[in-house]
Amino acid sequence: IFVQLETKFRREVTATSRHYVDRLFDPDPQKVLQGVIDMKNAVIGNNKQKANLIVLGAVPRLLYLLQQSSSSMELRTECAVVLGSLAMGTENNIKSLVDCHIIPALLQGLLSSDLIFIEACLRCLRTVFISPVTPVQLLYTDPTVIPHLMSLLSNSLRTQEYITQIFSHCCKTPEHQTILFNHGAIQNIAPLLISPSYKVRMQALKCFSVLAYENTQVSMTLVNVLVDGELLTQVFVKMMQRDQPIEMQLTAAKCLTYMCRASAIRTDDSCIVLKTLPCLVRMCSKEHLLEERVEGAETLAYLMEPDVELQRIASTTDHLVAMLADYFKYPSSVSAITDIKRLDHDLKHAHELRQAAFKLYASLGSNDEDIRKKITETENMMDRIVSGLSESSIKVRLAAVRCLHSLSRSVQQLRTSFHDHAVWKPLMKLLQNAPDEVLVMASSTLCNLLLEFSPSKEPILESGVIELLCSLTQSDSPALRVNGIWALMNMAFQADQKVKVEIVRCLGTEQLFRLLSDPDTNVLMKTLGLLRNLLSTRPHIDQIMSSHGKQIMQAVTLILEAEHSIEVKEQTLCILANIADGNTAKDLIMTNDDMLQKIKYYMGHSNVKLQLAATFCVSNLIWNEEDGSQERQDKLREMGFVDILHKLTQSSDPNLSDRAKTALQQYLA
Partner 1 sequence: MVVSTWTLQQEGLGFKSSLSCLSCSLHVLSVSLWVPSEYSGFHPKKWIGWSKCGSGLLLTSQFTKTRVVAMSGQSSGGGFLMSVVVHGDSALNEQEKELNQRLRRLYPAVNENETPLPRSWSPKDKFSYIGLSQNNLRVHYKGHGKTPKDAASVRATHPIPAACGVYYFEVKIISKGRDGYMGIGLSAQGVNMNRLPGWDKHSYGYHGDDGHSFCSSGTGQPYGPTFTTGDVIGCCVNLINNTCFYTKNGHSLGIAFTDLPPNLYPTVGLQTPGEVVDANFGQHPFVFDIEDYMREWRTKIQAQIDRFPIGEREGEWQSMIQKMVASYLVHHSYCATAEAFAKSTDQAVHEELASIKNRQKIQKLVLSGRMGEAIETTQQLYPNLLERNPDLLFMLKVRQFIEMVNGTDSEVRCLGGRSPKSQDSYPGSPRPFSSPSHKASSSQPYLTGTVQHYSHHSQCENFTYLWGEKRQEANKRGNFFLSSPDLSTNIHQLTDTISTPMFESFLVSSLSNDVDMEVDHFTNGVTESSSNGFLNGTSKHTTEPDDCDVESAQSKRQLCGGSQAAIERMIHFGRELQSMSEHLRRECGKNSANKKMLKDAFSLLAYSDPWNSPVGYQLDAIQREPVCSTLNSAILETHNLPKQPPLAQAVGQAAQCLAMMARTGSGSCAFASVDDYLH
Choice from 2, 196, 229, 243 touching partner 1 (CB under 8 A)? 243
- Provide the minimum distance between the beta carbon of 315 and partner 1 in the complex, in angstroms, as a whole number: 9
SS3 604: coil
Q: Give CA–CA dist 333/324, Å, rounded.
A: 18
Confirm or reject binding of residue 646 to partner 1 (CB under 8 A). no
**Choices 158-166, 241-249, 532-540, 631-639; region in contact with partner 1 by CB under 8 A:** 241-249
DSSP string for 574-586: HHHHHHHHSSSTH
Q: Give CA–CA dist 641/645, Å, rounded.
A: 6
Q: Give CA–CA dist 21/141, Å, rounded.
A: 31
Confirm or reject binding of residue 341 to partner 1 (CB under 8 A). no
Q: Give CA–CA dist 195/14, Å, rounded.
A: 45
- Provide the minimum distance between the beta carbon of 199 and partner 1 in the complex, in angstroms, as a whole number: 19
Task: Give the nearer residue to partner 1 in terms of CB position, either 245 or 435.
Answer: 245
Q: Give CA–CA dist 397/390, Å, rounded.
A: 6
Task: Give the nearer residue to partner 1 in terms of CB position, either 65 or 284.
Answer: 284
- Provide the minimum distance between the beta carbon of 322 and partner 1 in the complex, in angstroms, as a whole number: 8
Confirm or reject binding of residue 379 to partner 1 (CB under 8 A). no
Q: Give CA–CA dist 394/365, Å, rounded.
A: 22
Task: Give the nearer residue to partner 1 in terms of CB position, either 319 or 661.
Answer: 319
Task: Give the nearer residue to partner 1 in terms of CB position, either 115 or 274.
Answer: 274
Range 120-151 burial, b when 16+ CB lie within 10 A, else e? bbbbbbbbbbbbeebeeebbeeeeebbeebbe
**Shortest CA distance to 135 belongs to which of 170, 178, 104?**
170
Contacts of 25 (CB under 8 A, 6+ apart): 32, 61
Give 562's DSSP letter.
Answer: S
- Provide the minimum distance between the beta carbon of 389 and partner 1 in the complex, in angstroms, as a whole number: 28
Q: Are 575 and 582 in contact (CB under 8 A)?
A: no
Task: Give the nearer residue to partner 1 in terms of CB position, either 149 or 252.
Answer: 252
**Choices 62-70, 240-248, 295-303, 351-359; region in contact with partner 1 by CB under 8 A:** 240-248
List Cα–Cα distances, 130 to 126, 444, 448, in angstroms. 6, 39, 44
- Provide the minimum distance between the beta carbon of 209 and partner 1 in the complex, in angstroms, as a whole number: 21
Contacts 24+ apart (CB under 8 A), 330-339: 330/290
**Choices 166-174, 235-243, 493-501, 651-659; region in contact with partner 1 by CB under 8 A:** 235-243
Range 403-430 burial, b when 16+ CB lie within 10 A, else e? bbbbbbbbeebbeebbbebebbbbbbeb
- Provide the minimum distance between the beta carbon of 204 and partner 1 in the complex, in angstroms, as a whole number: 22
Q: Give CA–CA dist 272/150, Å, rounded.
A: 31
Bridge partners (DSSP) listed for residue 230: 227
- Provide the minimum distance between the beta carbon of 127 and partner 1 in the complex, in angstroms, as a whole number: 30
- Provide the minimum distance between the beta carbon of 257 and partner 1 in the complex, in angstroms, as a whole number: 17
SS3 223: coil
**Choices 3-11, 137-145, 237-245, 624-632; region in contact with partner 1 by CB under 8 A:** 237-245
Task: Give the nearer residue to partner 1 in terms of CB position, either 186 or 235.
Answer: 235
Task: Give the nearer residue to partner 1 in terms of CB position, either 42 or 314.
Answer: 314
Task: Give the nearer residue to partner 1 in terms of CB position, either 377 or 496.
Answer: 377
- Provide the minimum distance between the beta carbon of 320 and partner 1 in the complex, in angstroms, as a whole number: 8
According to CB under 8 A, which residues from 281 to 320 bind partner 1? 313, 316-319
Q: Are 133 and 91 in contact (CB under 8 A)?
A: yes
**Choices 206-214, 236-244, 345-353, 551-559; region in contact with partner 1 by CB under 8 A:** 236-244
- The count of residues interacting with partner 1 (CB under 8 A) is 11
- Provide the minimum distance between the beta carbon of 334 and partner 1 in the complex, in angstroms, as a whole number: 21
- Provide the minimum distance between the beta carbon of 79 and partner 1 in the complex, in angstroms, as a whole number: 34
- Provide the minimum distance between the beta carbon of 372 and partner 1 in the complex, in angstroms, as a whole number: 16
Task: Give the nearer residue to partner 1 in terms of CB position, either 274 or 289.
Answer: 274
Task: Give the nearer residue to partner 1 in terms of CB position, either 252 or 614.
Answer: 252
Q: Give CA–CA dist 273/303, Å, rounded.
A: 10
- Provide the minimum distance between the beta carbon of 361 and partner 1 in the complex, in angstroms, as a whole number: 17
Task: Give the nearer residue to partner 1 in terms of CB position, either 47 or 267.
Answer: 267
Choice from 242, 286, 341, 498 touching partner 1 (CB under 8 A)? 242
Alpha helices in 130-197 (DSSP H): 145-152, 157-170, 174-182, 185-189
Q: Is 537 left (phi over 0), alpha (psi -120 to 50) or beta?
A: left
Amino acid at site 651? S
Number of helices followed by number of strands (H, E) in the chain: 44, 2
Q: Give CA–CA dist 178/385, Å, rounded.
A: 39
According to CB under 8 A, which residues from 505 to 564 bind partner 1? none
Q: Give CA–CA dist 528/442, Å, rounded.
A: 23
DSSP string for 407-427: HTT-HHHHHTHHHHTTTHHHH
Choice from 226, 274, 562, 566 touching partner 1 (CB under 8 A)? 274
Task: Give the nearer residue to partner 1 in terms of CB position, either 243 or 476.
Answer: 243
Confirm or reject binding of residue 241 to partner 1 (CB under 8 A). yes
Task: Give the nearer residue to partner 1 in terms of CB position, either 318 or 339.
Answer: 318
Choice from 29, 278, 306, 478 touching partner 1 (CB under 8 A)? 278
Task: Give the nearer residue to partner 1 in terms of CB position, either 318 or 420.
Answer: 318
Amino acid at site 492? A
Task: Give the nearer residue to partner 1 in terms of CB position, either 323 or 428.
Answer: 323
Handedness of CA 306, 309, 312, 315 (dihedral sign): negative
According to CB under 8 A, which residues from 79 to 118 bind partner 1? none
Bridge partners (DSSP) listed for residue 231: 226
- Provide the minimum distance between the beta carbon of 461 and partner 1 in the complex, in angstroms, as a whole number: 38
- Provide the minimum distance between the beta carbon of 273 and partner 1 in the complex, in angstroms, as a whole number: 8
- Provide the minimum distance between the beta carbon of 368 and partner 1 in the complex, in angstroms, as a whole number: 12
Give 591's DSSP letter.
Answer: T
Amino acid at site 147? P
Task: Give the nearer residue to partner 1 in terms of CB position, either 278 or 459.
Answer: 278
**Shortest CA distance to 530 belongs to which of 563, 481, 566?**
481
Question: Which parts of this chain interact with partner 1 (CB under 8 A)?
Answer: 241-243, 274, 278, 313, 316-319, 323
